[in-house]
Amino acid sequence: MGLIKMYIENMALYMAAALPFYVLARILFLKRGKKHTTVLREIAVALFSLYIVGLASQTIIPRWSVEFDSSTGTWDFYFLTTNEIAGVNLMPFRTVIMYFQSNQYVSDWESVSLVNVVGNMFIFTPIGLFVPLLWRSMNRWWKVFLVGFCVTCFIEGIQFFIGRSSDIDDVILNTVGVMIGYGLAWIWLKIAR
């Protein structure tokens, strides 16, 4: 569970850093367009926008590090855009099956499997939840499916170019997560009516 906590903490840091910029941009947008809105809608838009920042931080923002060299007194900033174990998998369910087989090269294998299977679904659930709630015209399962599928394909495509693995299983799991979110939104809308 330490791995999941690490991902959540990393997302929260990016979201917290983005919050003041989001608030400023949203105020300017609403004042400029003289848009009518409600507090509940603004909270939902803010949560969704900050979630997108958190999602990007874990999927398409390249890994980076800042180091201080005390011997020279200089700071070094690195973008890590290569990875020796990154690859491409186009065979459906190959990686998912591998997650549940033992692997002598990975310690704490259960945690890695949990993060990659459940985490891939869970991290995309908010897309399926927020899209139909924020945009009524998107309140159809196939529209939400299409949005989720396109977003996850975009992310997997970007990952290929930033030294991360691209995997069809991630596309499948992420899209399942989007549809779980849509199911929750559908229930919410039924109860609200």
DSSP annotation string for 89-111: E-STTHHHHHHTS--TT-SSHHH
Average pLDDT of the chain, as a whole number: 86
pLDDT tier at 192, thresholds 50, 70, 90: confident
Tell me the two tokens of residue 14: 């990016």
Instruction: Answer yes or no: is pLDDT of 108 > 90.
Output: no
Per-residue pLDDT tens over the stretch 53-67: 999 999 988 776 677
pLDDT tier at 109, thresholds 50, 70, 90: low
- Mean pLDDT, range 84-97, rounded to an integer: 82
- Distance of alpha carbon 140 from alpha carbon 28, whole angstroms: 31
In percent, the amount of the chain with pLDDT more than 70 equals 85
The phi, psi pair for 63, rounded to 5°, reads -65, 145
- Distance of alpha carbon 116 from alpha carbon 96, whole angstroms: 8
Model confidence pTM above 0.75? yes
